[in-house]
Amino acid sequence: MSTHAAEKRSFGAVLWDYLTTVDHKKIAVLYLIGGGFFFVLGGLEAMLIRIQLISPDNEFISAQFYNEVMTMHGTTMIFLAAMPLLFALMNAVVPLQIGARDVAFPFINALGFWLFAFGGILLNLSWFLGGAPDAGWTAYAPLSILSPHHGIDFYAVGLQISGFGTLMAGINFLVTIINMRAPGMTYMRMPLFTWTTFVASVLILFAFPPLTVGLFEMIFDRLFGANFFKPEMGGNVIIWEHLFWIFGHPEVYILVLPAFGIFSEIIPTFSKKRLFGYSSMVFATVLIAFLGFMVWAHHMFTVGLGPIANSIFAVATMAIAVPTGIKIFNWLLTMWGGNIRITTPMLYALGFIPSFTVGGMTGVMLAAAAADLQYHDSYFVVAHFHYVIVGGVVLGVLAGLTYWWPRMFGTMLDEKLGKWTFWIFFIGFHLTFFIQHFLGLMGMPRRYWKFLPNQGLDLGNLISTIGAVLMAVGAVMFVWNIIKTTVKGEKVSHDPWDGRTLEWAVPSPTPEYNFKQTPLVRGLDPLWVEKMEGNGKMIPAEPLGDIHMPNSSFLPFMMSLGLFIAGIGVIYQVDHKAWWIVAAIGFIITFGTMFLRSIKDDLGYHIHKEDLEDEGAGVK
């Protein structure tokens, strides 16, 4: 399909195309738009928080509203911004990196996106329907159970819906990576981003169900009179904390491992060297994931689990520092002796290494169970996890977007503006969060609506707010860069960075079938191997033949819409039984479309060999 034809299509046609698409590249764009929107929203919430805390005893926003903003900032950033943005990159890149024409489950891939989107919308509807959730992103019971308005219900139902979507996305990537690799793409030749996607998907698969159960229990308690978290009825509030953190800790690695993967792609590319210690990088990734499942109680050192449990979880947590350290040193040694080009993505990678090292260091400090009695729930923790999430994940996403932008959109983000963006964001980030380590130890607990004068906390908070403004400026500049580049629309070649991996071997814009002929992989960094052999492009593993493609479908949208409607009905049935009708309509839509999907054959279609030959002639 040529660009000329694409331009002529009406807006309605494009919209319909995206509503029904099952193409992983378009789903990537959808995730990018969705995640980007929520990232901006979460950023605005962050700004409200920082403005409120600019000076002592400030009355900028009310206490209740502050709690809602603070809760939604955390929830939005984790579930609706960071994860979808990573999914955007995974969808855009992973199938290409393994030489696949498509993902294993294109339909489910689309369903995953729409569930996320509707879950996120449902969650944010709470702003307009009586107030957002107000019990923190961790929603500890019984505070969440006792919260009088519907906010927490939106939290539980919204996250439940988007959680299903995440689970499906995870399974899709797992099967794609296992079953769809091109000939020669063995496990130990997979690019690190693919590896980390794979491991993150395993984490999703095993970490999300406990959250699902916890959210169900919360929904049952709040909306159906159950007693899981009501102590006077025999309930136990600690169950929620366990379930939440059995999910919550792996969640950190679900976010940060793909970010590691992104940097493990960028650093070799711009050092012109293969990744140092590839196999130990893979091993470290798997080990981090494995250990990540047995450390959840380090979020609960002050709950009173006793010294034995606390000690075990403390030592287990410290152990994670070892594989993480391996990674840091491997990145450094990848650059050692290399030919380093400082492009914008590389700049992000260079900013990431010291930032994340600080986050990891404070992580080890927090792991010391006894000392955590001082750090816990103070601004020290806030500083720590922002160093991990912003210093690791957000820098990773921004780096990844800049790096793969030419792959996704065929255009190149402005390098000069990109570098400015990096510096402003980076300085703002450290200004905002470094001081918060000290604020915490100076006696400022987290989630504080206001701090009092004469407690020595004024200056630190002011600095933090100034830093936050810089970060906001940086984020705006990034968005501006995207707009500017898109309007300019200047196309670049399919391999503008001199890439090493398969995603740079396909023409730009990427054809809907990715690879006309499945490539033959002859080593780690397959494209680099061919470049060194003087071929410059991949050797095909098969003769040209018909390509099977999946049909577009509107059903994923409908299924998700159904759950969205049902969710609203379920939330409001406590107020009036008539809302059950709404819930029923929603469930009928969802199960009806599932039934339809089951009985209607969907065999896809074929792009014929002859057409492929014609097209090849047209492009070159």
> What residues numbered 49-88 form the site for another protein, per CB under 8 A?
62-64, 66-67
What 3-state class would DSSP assign to 377?
coil
Contact characters 318-357, another protein, x per CB under 8 A: xx-xx--xx-xxx-xx-xxxxxxxx-------x--xx--x
The residue written with tokens 């990034």 in the block is 478
Q: Which stretch binds another protein (CB under 8 A): 6-14, 101-109, 513-521, 536-544?
A: 101-109
In the bound state with another protein, the residue whose beta carbon lies nearer, of 443 and 489, is 443
In the bound state with another protein, the residue whose beta carbon lies nearer, of 408 and 457, is 457
DSSP assignment of 5-66: HHHHS-HHHHHHHHHH---HHHHHHHHHHHHHHHHHHHHHHHHHHHHHTSSTT--SS-HHHH
CB count, 10 Å around CB of 493? 12
In the bound state with another protein, the residue whose beta carbon lies nearer, of 16 and 236, is 236
- Classify residue 561 as exposed, middle or buried by CB count within 10 Å of its CB (0-12, 13-18, 19+): middle
Q: In the complex, what is the shortest distance from the CB of residue 238 to another protein, in angstroms, rounded to a whole number?
A: 7
Q: Which stretch binds another protein (CB under 8 A): 3-11, 266-274, 385-393, 570-578?
A: 266-274
Q: In the complex, what is the shortest distance from the CB of residue 5 to another protein, in angstroms, rounded to a whole number?
A: 27
Q: In the complex, what is the shortest distance from the CB of residue 275 to another protein, in angstroms, rounded to a whole number?
A: 9
Q: Are strands 539-540 and 519-520 parallel, antiparallel or unpaired?
A: antiparallel
Distance CA 501, CA 524 (A): 8
Binder of another protein out of 364, 473, 541, 549 (CB under 8 A): 364
Binder of another protein out of 4, 10, 12, 304 (CB under 8 A): 304
> What spatial distance separates the first Cα and last Cα of the chain, rounded to whole Å?
14
Q: In the complex, what is the shortest distance from the CB of residue 424 to another protein, in angstroms, rounded to a whole number?
A: 20
In the bound state with another protein, the residue whose beta carbon lies nearer, of 427 and 476, is 427
In the bound state with another protein, the residue whose beta carbon lies nearer, of 14 and 146, is 146
Using CB under 8 A as the binding rule, the residues of this chain from 123 to 152 that contact another protein are 134-136, 140, 142-143, 146
- Classify residue 483 as exposed, middle or buried by CB count within 10 Å of its CB (0-12, 13-18, 19+): exposed
Q: Are 612 and 1 contacting, i.e. CB atoms less than 8 angstroms apart? A: no
Binder of another protein out of 3, 15, 186, 456 (CB under 8 A): 456
Binder of another protein out of 175, 294, 476, 561 (CB under 8 A): 175
- Is residue 314 within the footprint of another protein (CB under 8 A)? yes
Q: Which amino acid is at 350?
A: L
In the bound state with another protein, the residue whose beta carbon lies nearer, of 34 and 112, is 112
Binder of another protein out of 277, 507, 540, 592 (CB under 8 A): 277
- Is residue 18 within the footprint of another protein (CB under 8 A)? no
Q: Are 201 and 168 contacting, i.e. CB atoms less than 8 angstroms apart? A: no
Binder of another protein out of 2, 186, 455, 486 (CB under 8 A): 455
Distance CA 412, CA 405 (A): 6
Binder of another protein out of 31, 87, 105, 352 (CB under 8 A): 105
> What are the Cα distances from residue 89, in Å, to 7, 263, 396, 411?
25, 13, 10, 16
Using CB under 8 A as the binding rule, the residues of this chain from 184 to 203 that contact another protein are none
Binder of another protein out of 39, 113, 208, 426 (CB under 8 A): 208
Q: Are 331 and 356 contacting, i.e. CB atoms less than 8 angstroms apart? A: no
Query: What backbone phi and psi angles, to 5 degrees, belong to 214?
Result: -60, -45
Q: In the complex, what is the shortest distance from the CB of residue 440 to another protein, in angstroms, rounded to a whole number?
A: 8
Q: In the complex, what is the shortest distance from the CB of residue 200 to another protein, in angstroms, rounded to a whole number?
A: 14
Smallest CA-to-CA distance from 107 within 20, 200, 225, 33 is with 20
Q: Are 403 and 266 contacting, i.e. CB atoms less than 8 angstroms apart? A: yes
In the bound state with another protein, the residue whose beta carbon lies nearer, of 34 and 189, is 189
Distance CA 233, CA 224 (A): 14
What 3-state class would DSSP assign to 594?
helix
Per DSSP, 276 falls in state T
Binder of another protein out of 104, 262, 468, 568 (CB under 8 A): 104
Using CB under 8 A as the binding rule, the residues of this chain from 460 to 519 that contact another protein are none
Binder of another protein out of 124, 264, 269, 271 (CB under 8 A): 271
Q: In the complex, what is the shortest distance from the CB of residue 443 to another protein, in angstroms, rounded to a whole number?
A: 4
Q: Which stretch binds another protein (CB under 8 A): 110-118, 209-217, 394-402, 607-615?
A: 209-217
DSSP assignment of 566-587: HHHHHHHTTT-TTHHHHHHHHH
Q: Which stretch binds another protein (CB under 8 A): 4-12, 276-284, 513-521, 537-545?
A: 276-284
Q: In the complex, what is the shortest distance from the CB of residue 190 to another protein, in angstroms, rounded to a whole number?
A: 16
Using CB under 8 A as the binding rule, the residues of this chain from 579 to 598 that contact another protein are 595, 598
Q: Are 136 and 553 contacting, i.e. CB atoms less than 8 angstroms apart? A: no
In DSSP terms, 547 is beta-bridged to 607
Binder of another protein out of 127, 206, 290, 423 (CB under 8 A): 206
Per DSSP, 445 falls in state B
Distance CA 290, CA 203 (A): 9
Using CB under 8 A as the binding rule, the residues of this chain from 408 to 427 that contact another protein are none
- Is residue 311 within the footprint of another protein (CB under 8 A)? yes
Token pair for 224: 């159906």
Sequence-distant (≥ 6) Cβ neighbours of residue 595 within 8 angstroms? none
In the bound state with another protein, the residue whose beta carbon lies nearer, of 423 and 448, is 448
Using CB under 8 A as the binding rule, the residues of this chain from 212 to 251 that contact another protein are 212-214, 216-217, 220-221, 224-228, 230-239, 242-243, 246
Q: In the complex, what is the shortest distance from the CB of residue 420 to another protein, in angstroms, rounded to a whole number?
A: 19
CB count, 10 Å around CB of 319? 16
